[in-house]
A and B are shown apart, each in its own frame.
Chain A
Amino acid sequence: GDSVTQMEGPVTLSEEAFLTINCTYTATGYPSLFWYVQYPGEGLQLLLKATKADDKGSNKGFEATYRKETTSFHLEKGSVQVSDSAVYFCALRVNSGYSTLTFGKGTMLLVSP
């Protein structure tokens, strides 16, 4: 079946540090890939997405590139801020009629001043 594996957290960084959160996937079809962010006490917000190989999704300084050869979609940001502290979920969707996402377990990011 489809699955997403994310690196264990929490990831603890100082402000302005470089961020990488690893994500790999297995899928029977040809998936679209997503990163969602969840701030404390809130629902999930779509951060970025990519629908085909070599696509790069980007938003708010975050980037991720769809790598079919390594089945990966690692999240990166060059300089994190305290306000980036949240839980980040990698997810995939095998194209079908509905957006039934398969989520990774989530990675908590803690950024200190």
Chain B
Amino acid sequence: DTEVTQTPKHLVMGMTNKKSLKCEQHMGHRAMYWYKQKAKKPPELMFVYSYEKLSINESVPSRFSPECPNSSLLNLHLHALQPEDSALYLCASSQGRGEDEKLFFGSGTQLSVL
């Protein structure tokens, strides 16, 4: 299994809603990532978890709250988002060490904030 699975594929939410994005991998990877991608732009790193601990937070607003319940799962909790937060949210994973590091991406959640 070389897949990173993200759910849901599409999400529409209001600015007062609370929702969660989910990501799962069963490759035994110890590093997991959240990226945000606006239309026609490259992905931007948001968070990195290594061995289930938050290692990197790229100054992301607190309305985005990541959680790593175990080594296979990564969540992104959303609360009081703004319309400018509408984007494709990509989860990725990697082994977490070594020169031959490769990132495996999920298909993403397309988020629309109304």
Contacts and interface: CB of A to CB of B under 8 A. Distances in A.
A44 B89 CA distance: 12
B106 A98 contact: no
A97 B50 contact: yes
Contacts of B107: 41-43
B56 A100 contact: yes
B40 A106 contact: yes
A104 B92 CA distance: 18
Given A104-B42, A106-B40, A97 B105 contact: no
A101 interface: yes
Interface in A88-109: 89, 93, 95, 97-101, 103-106
Given A98-B31, A98-B55, A98-B94, A45 B42 contact: no
Contact of A43 (B55, B100, B105): B105
A32 B6 CA distance: 27
B31 A99 contact: yes
Contact of B100 (A44, A51, A103): A51
Q: DSSP class of A's interface residues: helix, strand, loop or mixed? A: loop
A104 B94 CA distance: 20
Contacts of A97: 50, 96-97
B50 A98 contact: yes
Contacts of B102: 46, 49, 99
Contact of B42 (A51, A99, A103): A103
Nearest to B9: A41
B42 A46 contact: no
Contacts of A98: 31, 33, 48, 50, 55-56, 94, 96, 101
Nearest to B45: A100
B108 interface: yes
Interface of B: 4, 6, 31, 33, 40-43, 45, 48, 50, 55-56, 90, 92, 94, 96-97, 99-108, 110
